């Protein structure tokens, strides 16, 4: 049996998984992105863990179909190049596929992390059966992916789907992408924690904020309702423009649950054009934290068998 290594590189954590050809995860490792000081150290660290992962499971390189890697930013998936990563400094036009492939002596395929989460949810998750779907990830950053007529849509320069960088105000704070008033600047987890600190006058975790909201705490509920409203405003534009069958929402912030989803859905239903609003379904990602590595494995299998 051949295996696939799927990697989901985020601004906070790196998740590595060993999967079989049916996309079942046989083992996984989670690393802290900030443990690596700079681009070179991060690439070398990933390479070292891949090699040790293979060795620990008594596998050889011939047993590995390939390595799939999702990254949080604009990626030239065809050329294998990372254009830049808004929330991880030092990445500009990095030919990651060739660098990593040379280090580990295996086929490597890369794509935007939200594209891979979208691919996974479309194939075996909450978007299965939909011809047109939008998937977004709410975490350190806000990513997005598009399924149009049953195919992952990457755009002319392979950078489509950046829902997190849609401006939701005419003026607003500068974003790491160099835009202004991007959705990510209002609902990325760092901004939520900052907002919650302003409200509660001390530090509070996302988990605690969700727990308080679920117990009826008015301040916590207000925070999540505001985040849901801002998310819903951006998604209203997406719904009107693309008329999707469903919008799938994943990432750590999505764990806030019903109060967040109700606010998002209420905003879309009240603001989007009636036909599109009535048709679209809002769903939580079914694959949770595994969506990125499963999508990376699907990418490898598609490319490896092409």
Q: Please determine, for residue 13, whether its predicted confidence score (pLDDT) is greater than 90.
A: no
User: What span, in angstroms and rounded, lies between the C-alpha atoms of 191 and 199?
Assistant: 12
Same domain, 265 and 159: yes
Let me know: does 85 contact 94? Beta carbons within 8 Å: no
Please check whether residue 56 lies inside any domain of the structure.
yes
Same domain, 281 and 294: no
Arithmetic mean of pLDDT, 54-71: 94
Q: Place 251 in a pLDDT band, splitting at 50, 70 and 90.
A: confident
Please check whether residue 187 lies inside any domain of the structure.
yes
The pLDDT value recorded for residue 305 is 54
Q: Please determine, for residue 306, whether its predicted confidence score (pLDDT) is greater than 50.
A: no
Percent of the chain with pLDDT over 70: 99
Same domain, 107 and 141: no
Q: Place 235 in a pLDDT band, splitting at 50, 70 and 90.
A: very high
Same domain, 68 and 157: no
Burial 108-134 (b: 16+ CB within 10 A, else e): bbbbbbbbbbbbbbbbbbbbeebebbb
Number of separate domains in the chain: 2
Same domain, 193 and 224: yes
Contacts of 24 (CB under 8 A, 6+ apart): none
pLDDT in tens, 117-174: 999 999 999 999 999 999 999 988 898 999 999 999 999 988 899 999 999 888 899 9
Same domain, 244 and 175: yes
Q: Please determine, for residue 6, whether its predicted confidence score (pLDDT) is greater than 80.
A: yes
Same domain, 138 and 271: yes
Please check whether residue 122 lies inside any domain of the structure.
no
Residue 67: CB atoms within 10 Å: 27
pLDDT in tens, 80-110: 999 988 878 889 999 999 999 999 999 999 9
Same domain, 105 and 178: no
Residue 175 β-bridge partners: none
Q: What angle do CA 131, 74, 114 make, to 5 degrees?
A: 40
Percent of the chain with pLDDT over 90: 77
Average pLDDT, the chain: 92
Same domain, 104 and 133: no
Range of the domain at 91: 3-116+290-304
CATH of the domain at 260: 3.30.420.40
Same domain, 79 and 226: no
Same domain, 89 and 230: no
Q: Give pTM, 2 decimals.
A: 0.90
Rounded alpha-carbon distances, angstroms, from residue 197 to 16, 209, 259: 32, 10, 19
Q: Please determine, for residue 274, whether its predicted confidence score (pLDDT) is greater than 60.
A: yes
Arithmetic mean of pLDDT, 240-268: 94
Same domain, 41 and 141: no
Please check whether residue 124 lies inside any domain of the structure.
no
């Amino acid at each position: 049996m051949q295996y696939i290594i799927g990697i989901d590189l985020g601004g906070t954590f790196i998740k590595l998984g060993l999967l079989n050809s049916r996309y079942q995860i046989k083992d996984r490792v989670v690393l802290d992105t900030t443990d690596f000081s700079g681009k070179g150290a991060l690439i070398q660290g990933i390479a070292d863990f891949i090699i040790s992962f293979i060795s620990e499971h008594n596998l050889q390189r011939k047993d590995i179909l390939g390595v799939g890697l999702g990254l949080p930013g604009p990626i030239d998936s065809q050329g294998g190049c990372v254009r830049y990563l808004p929330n991880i400094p030092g990445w500009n036009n990095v030919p990651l596929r060739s660098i990593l492939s040379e280090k580990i002596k295996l086929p490597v395929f890369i794509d935007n992390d939200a594209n891979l989460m979208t691919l996974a949810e479309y194939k075996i998750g909450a978007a299965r059966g939909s011809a047109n779907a939008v998937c977004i990830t709410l975490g350190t950053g806000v990513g997005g992916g598009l399924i149009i007529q049953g195919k992952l849509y990457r755009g002319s320069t392979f950078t489509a789907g950046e829902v997190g960088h849609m401006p939701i105000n005419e003026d607003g704070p500068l974003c790491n992408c160099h835009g202004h008033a991007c959705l990510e600047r209002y609902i990325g987890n760092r901004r939520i924690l900052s907002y919650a600190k302003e409200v509660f006058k001390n530090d509070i975790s996302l988990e605690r904020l969700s727990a308080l909201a679920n117990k009826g705490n008015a301040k916590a509920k207000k925070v999540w309702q505001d985040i849901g409203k801002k998310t819903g405003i951006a998604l209203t534009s997406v719904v009107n423009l693309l008329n999707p069958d469903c919008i799938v929402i994943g990432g750590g912030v999505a764990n806030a649950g019903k109060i967040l989803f109700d606010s998002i859905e209420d905003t879309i239903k009240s603001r989007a054009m009636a036909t599109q609003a009535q048709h679209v379904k809002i769903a939580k990602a079914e694959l949770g934290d595994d969506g990125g590595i499963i999508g990376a494995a699907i990418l490898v299998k598609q490319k490896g068998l092409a």
